[in-house]
A = this chain, B = another copy of it.
Amino acid sequence: MNQPYLKKATLAEAQARWFGALERAGWFAPKTEVVPVRQAVGRVTAKDVLARRAVPHLRAAAMDGIALRAEATAGARIDRPLALKAGRDYVRVDTGDPLSDEADAVVKLEDLDFPEANTCELRKATFPGQYVRPVGEDFPEGGTVLGAHRLVAPEAVAACLAAGVFELEVLVLPKVLIIPTGSELGDPQNLSPNAYPETNGALFEGYLRRWQAVPTLHPLLPDDEGAIREAVEAGLESHDAVLVGAGTSKGREDFTTRVLARFGEVLVHGVSMHPGHPVVLGVASGKPVMGVPGYPVATWVTLDQFVLPLLERFYSCPLQPRHTVRGTLAKTVHASLGEVEFVRVRLEHTDQGLRIHPLAGKASALSSLIRADGILEVPSELGGIAAGETVEVRLFWP
């Protein structure tokens, strides 16, 4: 009556098996497109971006002052100021002004006196190149402005514009179909009496967008194997990846595995982690397919442990910071031996340093995600971590 779990994989095994199969299927082969550079913020470069012109492409004054030939200042001394004539000997320039071919140095205003109009005096000789910004100082022509597989930040757009690069070859945004399933679920805004609101779709959509994927949210499907099969089949035609929400527990509605198996290979059913252990990972038509557990925190862990690394591997680029802090665990946490436990925690800054408070809340508790500052991973070799131990916490950023 109930399908038994396939033997559970460890987290590392599950990732390696899934990513390995997708690698062999060619899913990580870069697919690129060209976009105007001003619209490229947040996209990922497909190759090194080379300067088409030097930055700066003109020699420029690096200070406000006068531009001249350095040799014209020979003999100026503190006790014997040298007088120069505008036009004949120098030109007034401001920071950033391009220099004429004749000028090879800039003397800054602070070092000058202007006893009368069009005349200035200086008390120190200068040298060629003084306060001159040379061509290509920032980026030489042909030099690398931004490496391959980098997220495009605003300063990279500015540098590209400066370097004459107006279009960027970037990796395409993978299109991901999300299929929420569950006869017990309904539209949150139009809920029938005995139904629960379907809310994981919003979790998927938000994180996929943040991680540079384009989500499509399929209408909610009941636990109808035929309907789910059709949706997955159509999704594999039109999308780069298909995620099926819920339907992965040991219960009667365990269709996901059968459906995914019909179109491809199920590589993993069950991962020794908590929350999120009933995750199903497969490859169909050369594309990632996934059955995602329905409890919100389990969904979140699955996104964090499989979808984010999938997309980071696709882009060969980190898509989210993984900053950590260390602190003292305020309360003992228990975990199952042989299973990685993901504990949501709050941070408290005290005079004795950082204290880490595990948050109560089951895998069903969205509140524990919202209130958390970060996540503590209890390794599978440990049955828990005692209060007072020093632990490392990965920080969230909303």
Query: Which residues of A does B touch, CB under 8 Å?
Result: 1-2, 38, 41, 55-58, 60, 62, 64, 92, 94-98, 109, 114, 133, 137-139, 145-146, 150-159, 161-162, 164, 166, 182, 184, 188-189, 194, 196-200, 202-207, 209-210, 249-253, 294-296, 300, 321, 323, 361-362, 364-367, 369-370, 395, 397-398
Contact = CB atoms under 8 A, between A and B. Distances in A.
A230 to B, nearest CB: 23
A114 B2 CA distance: 12
Contacts of A188: 161-162, 164, 166
A265 B197 CA distance: 53
B205 A189 contact: no
Sorted nearest first, the 6 A-B pairs with minimum C-beta distance are A154-B206, A94-B251, A153-B398, A323-B323, A158-B199, A161-B188
Contact of A321 (B139, B321, B365): B321
Given A1-B114, A138-B366, A145-B367, 4 more contacts: A94-B184, A150-B398, A162-B188, A321-B397
A296 B98 contact: no
B56 A196 contact: yes
A114 B252 CA distance: 15
B95 A251 contact: yes
B206 A133 contact: no
A305 to B, nearest CB: 16
A341 B161 CA distance: 27
A175 to B, nearest CB: 18
Given A202-B158, A366-B138, A398-B153, A250 B189 contact: no
Contact of A155 (B95, B153, B321, B370): B370
Contacts of A60: 196
Contacts of A253: 94
A4 to B, nearest CB: 11
Given A366-B158, A367-B139, A64 B249 contact: yes
B94 A159 contact: no
B162 A321 contact: no
A395 to B, nearest CB: 7
A98 B184 contact: yes
A182 B96 CA distance: 10
A137 B362 CA distance: 10
A162 B249 contact: no
A295 B95 CA distance: 9
Given A158-B203, A250-B109, A196 B151 contact: no
Contacts of A207: 154
B197 A162 contact: yes
A252 B96 CA distance: 12
A107 to B, nearest CB: 14
A365 B94 contact: no
Contacts of A62: 362, 364
Nearest to A182: B96
Contacts of A370: 145-146, 153, 155-156, 159
Nearest to A51: B367
Contact of A365 (B95, B138, B152, B361): B138
A196 B58 contact: yes
Interface centre among A2, A62, A250, A398 (most CB of B within 10 A): A398
**Could you say which of A56, A196, A362 has the most chain B C-beta atoms within 10 Å of its C-beta?**
A196
Contact of A364 (B57, B98, B137, B164): B137
